Amino acid sequence: MGVTVETLQPGDGKNFPKPGVNVDPDILDKVKIHYVGTLASNGKQFDSSRDRNKPFETVIGVGQVIKGWDEGVPQLSVGQKAILKITSDYGYGARGVGGGLIPPNSDLNFEVELLSIN
C-alpha cells in the first residue's frame, strides 16, 4: 500500500523537492506541478490543473496534500513527468471526497509534471 512512481519522461535528475518535515519552515520547498487525476478503477478524470491552465503550487511533506503526494513528489526531479499510483489509504481513504466524485476507498492515478521548485 502507498504510492509508486512510474516515470513517463525523466527530469534533470539533480533537483528534487525536499519534504517539509523536520525542516526550518522558512526554507520549505514550494513546488509547482501540473497534474491530471483519475480513478484507477475506471480512468475517470476527477481533476486537472492542465484543464484550468494553472499549475498547482504547494509545500510537500507537511500535510497540505494527500499522503501519496507527500511521499511521491519528493521522488521527482524538475522536468520529470510521471504517474503517481496511489492506494486509497494514501489518498482520501474511506471518506472519499466531492460528493461521490472520488468514491470511498478509491485508488488514484495522478499524471504529474514537476515544473519547478521555488
Cβ neighbors of 17 (< 8 A, separation 6 or more) are 29, 31, 60, 73, 74, 76, 114, 117
Computed on alpha carbons and rounded to an integer, the radius of gyration of the chain in Å comes to 14
Catalytic residues: 35, 46-47, 66, 92, 110
> How far is CA 76 from each of CA 44, 82, 101, 112, rounded to the nearest angstrom?
24, 8, 27, 9
Alpha-carbon distance of 39 to 57, in angstroms, equals 22
